[in-house]
Amino acid sequence: MKPYPGDLLLHLESYVALLGHVGEGGRGTFESTARALGVDRSVLRRRLQTLGAWLGTPLLSGRGSALAPTAAGTRLAQRAASMIALARSLPADVAEARPKITVACTGTITTELLPRVLLDLERAARPVLLAVRRAGGSACERLVLERNVDLGVVRDDAPPKGLASRHLADDRLWLVLPASHALAKADKRPSLAEMAALPLVLFGESSRTRLRVMDRLGPRGAAIRIEIEGKAAALEYVRAGLGATFLSQLPGHTLRASGVWACDVTTLFGASRFYVIGRRDRWHDPVLSEVVRRLVHHAKPRAARA
């Protein structure tokens, strides 16, 4: 059969729309259909004429209130409905067929890095569907080792043993105080002794940030007043004047939150880094390699990426 001389799917949709108006009865079927489609009546007529000529058979009979599909027209409507439904489902079907990579990571990575990486992967010439699971430290390593996720991002002094890894970024540690606090108004960075004297608002026992802070402040008498989950909760307690917290940030990111004062105290708490980790048997998989490359690229401060 010769190629269709136009947009076949568009013309089929127009034909099915017309039959919907035929089923309503009354006059003005072409006018009401054309209006619903946002085209001139003459355009609609040409579409249907093109369909009939290509198929070599009339699709409609009668006029006005007597307008009805022919036997061929009825059969075409049935086939067209299936074709239109299939075409509309194509985006979802194609999306499901895209490579899917699952990454487990901390809240810092989830918030500050992954939105840009997800958008980048979605817009790539060969899109990758990135799924995210919230897990840090040993839980993240376990998910990778047990093949429950493809990649992980962990924060530690050194990369974990037994897994492939790549340095993603250095971790910056920020002290956060109420904006009205006396230490926030001083011209110098607070000392470890001054920070240890503050009532602390910190994450649960498995938190790498908590371990890092208490390793230095615990021997100086620091005490955790409030345990929380998530940065938003920590900031609410600090705003209320109920304590101080420590938050992790990627390089190039500055905490922007009303009612609080933040100071970079990284050098007082020793080095800590983020690493991308994965199983060695899959580390060089092309799709995984591309995801790792984009993670590393977007983890760099904007000036370094330019």
Can you give the pLDDT at residue 127? 86
Are 169 and 250 a contacting pair, CB within 8 Å? yes
Q: Report the CATH number of the 8-96 domain.
A: 1.10.10.10
Q: What is the pLDDT of residue 113?
A: 92
137 Cβ contact partners less than 8 Å away, ≥ 6 residues apart? 154, 155, 156, 206, 208
pLDDT for res 244 = 97
Percent of the chain that is helix, strand, coil (3-state, to 5): 45, 20, 30
Helix (H, G, I), strand (E, B) or coil at 177: strand
* pLDDT higher than threshold 70 for residue 24: no
Over pLDDT 70: what percentage of the chain? Answer: 95
Distance between CA atoms of 300 and 306, rounded to whole angstroms?
10
pLDDT of the residue at 97: 67
The residue type found at 67 is L
pLDDT at 169 over 90: yes
* CATH number of the 172-268 domain: 3.40.190.10
With cut-offs at 50, 70 and 90, classify the pLDDT of residue 139. Answer: confident
- What's the pLDDT at 96? 65
Mean pLDDT of 28-49: 91
Topology annotation, domain 100-170+272-305: D-Maltodextrin-Binding Protein; domain 2 (3.40.190)
pLDDT per residue over 222-261, tens digit each? 999 999 988 899 999 999 999 999 999 999 888 888 999 9
pLDDT for 22 equals 84
Q: What is the pLDDT of residues 189-214, one digit of tens each?
A: 999 999 999 999 999 888 888 999 99
pLDDT of residue 305: 52
Strand pairing partners for 130?
101
Assigned token pair, 45: 């007529």
Backbone phi, then psi, for 172, in 5-degree steps? -105, 130
User: 144, 151 in Cβ contact below 8 A?
Assistant: yes
- Residue range 79-110, pLDDT digits in tens: 999 999 988 888 777 666 678 899 999 888 99
Domain range annotation of the chain: 8-96, 100-170+272-305, 172-268
Mean pLDDT over 290-301 rounds to 92
Amino acid 25: pLDDT: 61
* Rounded mean pLDDT, 34-61: 93
DSSP readout, 89-117? HHHHHHHHHS-EEEEEE-HHHHHHTHHHH
Using one digit for the tens of pLDDT, what is the confidence trace for 261-279?
999 999 999 889 999 999 9
The sign of the dihedral angle between the CA atoms of 239, 133, 283, 122 is: negative
Strands 199-202 and 260-264: unpaired
Query: In the predicted model, is pLDDT for residue 304 greater than 60?
Result: no
Q: Do domains 100-170+272-305 and 172-268 have the same CATH topology?
A: yes
Give the pLDDT of residue 260.
95
